[in-house]
């Protein structure tokens, strides 16, 4: 049996990008950088240079996941569709000041110096033991540098997670994870879920300013469309070209907005689903008097995503309305064109009748003219016969010849007309 050439690669995909185990105390620093939309994207040169300087084998071209173990420090790099992740794990930190600058922050700053891309997400997760230091409202507020924070027990109550969802003076979001009884693997999975929840939240939020911009454009389009539809019943036919040009312009503008928003809104829906999934995987248990992280996101993050959905639905609705208005305008133009065609055909019929009458008049005049000239010629013939001695009265003979000449001319004209009509193509 011949195996599929991609069987091994597809089978092993489930084992790629493992979640490193974490043991308290630990500091995790993470940055996500939006990357230019070009394919293929090479391995970041700054990452390759860092690996060479630290005697670490750099990732190979085409590789999308890389880890480096430096003892107390671990570096993890991941490539995604739109962004690159850089995560540094630093062990043995000061649990009294878990967010103080540590060797992992220095490595991350050194690694990202000159790296291409724009930072979209940055967070630090301090993993401490539940009893050292004491985790209470005052200590959590001091470590997060904010009196307003959210928190919950996670991993079925085996750890506690706190965050203010605010940026500190270095531009990082802070998350405090107090471990009680989890294993390093469980704690590593919890850390990874927090990282992904925050990164995917920020990636999903990229659609929000785009939705606001498109919403403003749609306001103008809808106003113009309403004015255009109101004119369909009362505008004279002379304004139809201008109205057709306007509806075409609105259709093109809406299509441009749809094209620009399709990817961003679709990506936002996918990222939002991942945020919700990672929040469910944390398996939160409410702490008394403290709002949970997922509740906070439901209150602030979900409305923004709902607005994006509303703008996407509104964009589709406006496109349909423009299509209906275009159809109505085309129907009106076709009706007006049909009326003009009927008027043109009526005018052509009138002209044909006039031409027929004129032709009949000309035909009568032609018979008279031909008869006149033929009678004159016959008169000369009769005069010549009388001069030659034949008993012919020229004037009497000419008068008697007029009737047969007229009948002969009329018959000849009628025969010609019949031949022409017979030779004309039939419809």
Torsion angle of the four alpha carbons 92, 95, 99, 100, in this order, in degrees rounded to the nearest 10: -70
Q: What is the pTM of this model?
A: 0.76
Question: Quick one: tokens of 170?
Answer: 């270095």
CA distance 331 to 339: 12
Provide the pLDDT for residue 136: 80
Provide the pLDDT for residue 15: 55
CA distance 117 to 263: 20
Provide the pLDDT for residue 425: 59
CA distance 358 to 349: 14
Question: Per this entry, what is the length of the chain?
Answer: 427
Greatest extent of the chain over all pairs of C-alpha atoms, in Å:
160
Provide the pLDDT for residue 271: 94
CA distance 397 to 393: 6
CA distance 266 to 85: 21
- Strand, helix or coil at 231? helix
Provide the pLDDT for residue 238: 74
Residue range 372-419, pLDDT digits in tens: 777 777 777 777 777 777 777 777 777 777 778 777 777 777 777 677
* Radius of gyration of the chain measured on its C-alpha atoms: 46
Provide the pLDDT for residue 182: 84
Q: For residue 164, what are the contacts with CB-CB under 8 A and spacing of at least 6?
A: 144, 145, 146, 148, 149, 150, 174
Q: What DSSP assignment string belongs to 69-114?
A: E-SSEEEEEEE-SSEEEEEEEEES--TTSTTS--HHHHHHHHHHTT
Question: Quick one: tokens of 236?
Answer: 């004279």
- Strand, helix or coil at 203? helix
CA distance 269 to 308: 9
Strands 285-286 and 26-34, by their bridges, are unpaired
Ranges in the chain, pLDDT < 70: 7-18, 38-39, 132-134, 356-365, 417, 420-427
Strands lying side by side in the sheet with 65-69: 65-69, 73-79, 83-91, 26-34, 118-129, 173-179, 159-167, 150-154, 285-286
Question: Quick one: tokens of 411?
Answer: 């018959």
* Ranges of each domain in the chain: 19-182, 207-343, 349-423
* Element (DSSP H or E) covering residue 219: helix 207-231
Burial class (CB in 10 A: 0-12, 13-18, 19+), 54: middle
Provide the pLDDT for residue 251: 87
Provide the pLDDT for residue 7: 66
By C-alpha distance, which of 267, 269, 260 is closest to 315?
Answer: 260
- Alpha carbon of residue 246 to chain centroid: 21
CA distance 266 to 263: 5
Provide the pLDDT for residue 12: 61
CA distance 115 to 104: 17
Residue range 26-82, pLDDT digits in tens: 999 999 999 877 667 788 888 888 888 888 899 888 888 889 888 889 999 998 888
Question: Quick one: tokens of 132?
Answer: 């050292």
Provide the pLDDT for residue 152: 93
């Amino acid at each position: 049996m011949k195996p599929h050439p991609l069987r091994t690669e597809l089978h092993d995909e489930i084992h790629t990008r493992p979640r490193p185990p974490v043991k308290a105390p630990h500091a995790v620093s993470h940055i996500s950088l939006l990357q230019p939309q070009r394919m293929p994207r090479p391995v970041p040169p700054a990452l390759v240079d860092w690996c060479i300087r630290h005697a670490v084998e750099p990732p190979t071209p085409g590789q999308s996941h890389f880890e480096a173990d430096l003892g107390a420090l671990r570096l993890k790099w991941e490539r995604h569709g739109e962004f690159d992740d850089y995560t540094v794990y630093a062990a043995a930190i000061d649990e009294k000041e878990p967010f103080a600058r540590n060797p992992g922050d220095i490595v991350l700053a050194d690694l990202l110096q000159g790296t291409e891309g724009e930072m979209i997400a940055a967070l630090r997760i301090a993993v401490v033991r539940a009893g050292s230091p004491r985790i209470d409202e005052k200590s959590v507020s001091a470590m997060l540098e904010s009196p307003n924070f959210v928190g919950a027990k996670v991993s079925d109550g085996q750890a506690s997670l706190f965050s203010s969802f605010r940026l500190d003076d270095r531009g990082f979001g802070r998350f405090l994870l107090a471990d009680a009884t989890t294993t390093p693997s469980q704690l590593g999975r919890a850390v990874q879920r927090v990282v992904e929840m925050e990164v995917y939240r920020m990636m999903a939020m990229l659609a929000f300013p785009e939705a606001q911009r498109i919403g403003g454009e749609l306001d103008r389009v809808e106003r113009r469309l309403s004015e255009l539809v109101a004119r369909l019943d009362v505008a004279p036919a002379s304004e139809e070209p201008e109205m057709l040009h306007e509806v075409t312009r609105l259709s093109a503008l809406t299509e441009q907005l749809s094209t620009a928003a399709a990817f961003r809104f679709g990506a936002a829906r996918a990222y939002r689903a991942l945020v919700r999934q990672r929040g469910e995987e944390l398996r939160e248990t409410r702490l008394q008097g403290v709002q949970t992280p997922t509740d906070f996101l439901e209150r602030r993050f979900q409305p923004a995503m709902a607005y994006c959905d509303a703008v996407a639905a509104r964009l589709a609705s406006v496109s349909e309305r423009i299509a209906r208005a275009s159809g109505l305008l085309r129907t009106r133009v076709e009706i007006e064109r049909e009326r003009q065609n009927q008027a043109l055909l009526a005018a052509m019929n009138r002209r044909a009748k006039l031409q027929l009458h004129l032709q009949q008049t000309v035909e009568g005049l032609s018979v008279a003219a031909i008869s006149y000239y033929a009678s004159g010629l016959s008169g000369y013939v009769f005069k010549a016969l009388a001069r030659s001695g034949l008993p012919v009265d020229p004037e009497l003979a000419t008068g008697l010849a007029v009737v047969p000449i007229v009948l002969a001319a009329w018959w000849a004209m009628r025969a010609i007309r019949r031949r022409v009509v017979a030779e004309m193509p039939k419809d």
